[in-house]
Structure 1
Amino acid sequence: MTETTALVPVVHRTIDVDGIEIFYREAGPADAPVFLLPHGYPCSSYEFRNLMPALGDRWRLIAPDLPGFGYSGTPDRAAFSYTFDGYAGFLERFTHVMELSRYAVYLHDYGSQFGLRLAMRAPHRVTALVIQNGDIYEDELGPKYAWLKEFWAHPTPEGRAKLAANVTEEGFRDEFAGDLPAHLAARVSPDLWKLHWALMDTPQRRENVVGLFEDQATTLEWFPKEQAYLREHRPPTLILWGPHDGYMPEGSARAYLRDLPDAELHLLDAGHWALETNLGEVVPLIRDFLGRASRT
């Protein structure tokens, strides 16, 4: 018999983190095991709006909008580092301000880098990992990385202009639905790119994102460290992957098994944003996995 649960309300709050007003979504009992949900680009905590009520009966789900994204504040660059290091440090500070001592972490897109660095800084706090299209294996990067890798190797003003040209409503639409076959693309609501473009379309936010594209080159140096963390600590891990992803194809998912041979891998008929197209498959897989992980 299939388990059915009532949807749990999601609440919306703000909190001050080092002088930055941070918006976050929360669902579930205050004393339940924590599931931390850092979002990817070009999204926000909106990414998890449907997942949270489906799991909040058994877990406390917390999804912040990162600085410069969604409904959170956009501090001046003198006050916040819009780099991968800066965001990883922010996520750690967020957990301290929220007084989160133990948590499972959802690793997706840019959020996979922030979440993994959080895990590396405090391995004893991590109860489990759910990895969904977040790549850390350079040899398995997909073909859509080609233009970024070319820029990282040979940065030029023309190349930077190309980065900036991607920060548009059409660029956002391509991020959310561009790689999907028609039957999946039809499931992706235009709300995703229209909402997030409306929130991102300020000079400061657009410039911050271009700088983050540039800084993404530094993540390649982190890949071997992150792989070493996985080998050493072997956190319980569920890998949910959408292979219709020009940045992170199937090989990017299978590569994790090199360092986590006991990880549970599920390849879905999905793309980069599986929560938009395959929520009905994802929810029971996560429920089952987190339930088992909490007993180990």
Structure 2
Amino acid sequence: MDTRVRHRRISVGKVEVFYREAGADGAPVVLLPHGYPCSSYEFRNLMPRLADRWRLIAPDFPGAGYSETPDDFDYSFDGYAGFLDSFVEALDIARFALYLHDFGSPIGARLAIRAPARIAALIIQNGDIPYEDALGPKYADIEKTWSLPVPEMRKQLAEAINEETFKEEFLNDVRPELAACIPPDLWKLHWSLMTPRRKEVAIDLIAGLKQNRAWFPQHREYLREHRPPTLIVWGPHDHYMPEKSARAYLRDLPDAELHLLDGGHWLLETNLDEVVALVRDFLGRVHAHAG
């Protein structure tokens, strides 16, 4: 079985998109939308570990990684969900499990809402949650900017987008021995790909968290109504998404499987073996049941 990760490009509309792929064409698909300030690079170690049984597909969003940064793209959660919809259509993917992490969570959830029948299962790993009362303390720093005039808000957000804050985003709240497992390539690579235009994209997306609050009820309604098979695998050492954030999902997904690991926001760097074992077991049962 060939489990190597392949690196490809495809045109989605007018945008040239870079994506990573592993696994056989006919295998069940796992779609991997990435978080911020990252790219499909975050899934580079997970993909070959699952590619013997599944087809893993991880695109770089427009304005991130090795994809293009067009001027006329809608750099919002809605815009990215529309892009992801077009991406899966371009690859002719009819049904898939969806991995929700960081900003990939509100984007992926919007994709699920568009066509719930496409979703075979959810894997939620430190995703941005739709529960206002269960957010971590770091979100308060972002919320403080919401009362400012828009130019001042954007100025403050811009000042917080630099290599040092990228490093802080990846190290987050993990203790030193776990931080030693997180490669500096993560912040060095993604900062090296930053451009003035991409900085504006990042500001747009972070500023959009305010408008995203109004969408929380719709996200919760989707979970409550459709109850997709769900694995929640979580690193509680996370200033943005601590343990209470993971448990909040159980309000609308009472049958979800919840596993709290001894890690933080970027579990695929620090707890890969544990995540792989849980995902393999979960997806194996989901697809056995479907069959």
TM-score band, normalised by the shorter chain?
over 0.9
Of the three residues 171, 193, 200, the one matched with 1:199 is 193
Of the three residues 13, 29, 33, the one matched with 2:24 is 29
Q: Is it true that 1:259 corresponds to 2:252 in the alignment?
A: yes
Q: Is it true that 1:249 corresponds to 2:224 in the alignment?
A: no
Partner SS for 1:228: helix
* Cα distance, 1:178 vs structure 2: 3.0
Q: Measure the CA separation in 1 of the matches of 2:43 and 2:167.
A: 18
* Cα distance, 1:150 vs structure 2: 1.7
Q: Is it true that 1:64 corresponds to 2:80 in the alignment?
A: no
Q: Measure the CA separation in 2 of the matches of 1:179 and 1:293.
A: 32
Q: Which moved more, 1:162-171 or 1:283-292?
A: 162-171
Q: Measure the CA separation in 1 of the matches of 2:52 and 2:168.
A: 34
Q: 2:2, 2:23 within 8 Å by CA — same for their partners in 1? A: no
* Cα distance, 1:9 vs structure 2: 0.3
Of the three residues 14, 25, 29, the one matched with 2:9 is 14
Q: Measure the CA separation in 2 of the matches of 1:98 and 1:57.
A: 20
Q: Measure the CA separation in 2 of the matches of 1:138 and 1:18.
A: 35
Q: Measure the CA separation in 1 of the matches of 2:49 and 2:141.
A: 38
Of the three residues 33, 42, 51, the one matched with 1:47 is 42
Q: 1:7, 1:54 within 8 Å by CA — same for their partners in 2? A: no
Partner SS for 2:161: coil
Of the three residues 92, 100, 103, the one matched with 2:96 is 103
Q: Number of aligned residue pairs: give it.
A: 288
Q: 2:24, 2:51 within 8 Å by CA — same for their partners in 1? A: yes
Q: Deviations over 1:113-163 (max 9, x none)?
A: 111111111000100000001122111011101121121243453332221
Q: 2:172, 2:265 within 8 Å by CA — same for their partners in 1? A: no
Q: Is it true that 1:120 corresponds to 2:108 in the alignment?
A: no
CA RMSD of aligned residues (A): 1.1
Counterpart residue number, 1:294: 287
Which runs of at least 4 in structure 1 moved beyond 4 Å after TM superposition?
Answer: none
Partner SS for 1:204: helix
* Cα distance, 1:70 vs structure 2: 0.3
Using structure 1 for the length normalisation, give the TM-score.
0.95
Partner SS for 1:116: helix
Using structure 2 for the length normalisation, give the TM-score.
0.97
Q: 2:172, 2:264 within 8 Å by CA — same for their partners in 1? A: no
Partner SS for 1:100: coil
Q: Measure the CA separation in 1 of the matches of 2:177 and 2:278.
A: 22
Q: Measure the CA separation in 2 of the matches of 1:155 and 1:63.
A: 37
Q: Which amino acid aligns with 2:32?
A: L
Q: 1:163, 1:210 within 8 Å by CA — same for their partners in 2? A: yes
Q: Which amino acid aligns with 2:159?
A: A
Q: Identity over aligned residues, as a percent?
A: 64
Q: Deviations over 1:201-236 (max 9, x none)?
A: x11011111111111212111111111111111100
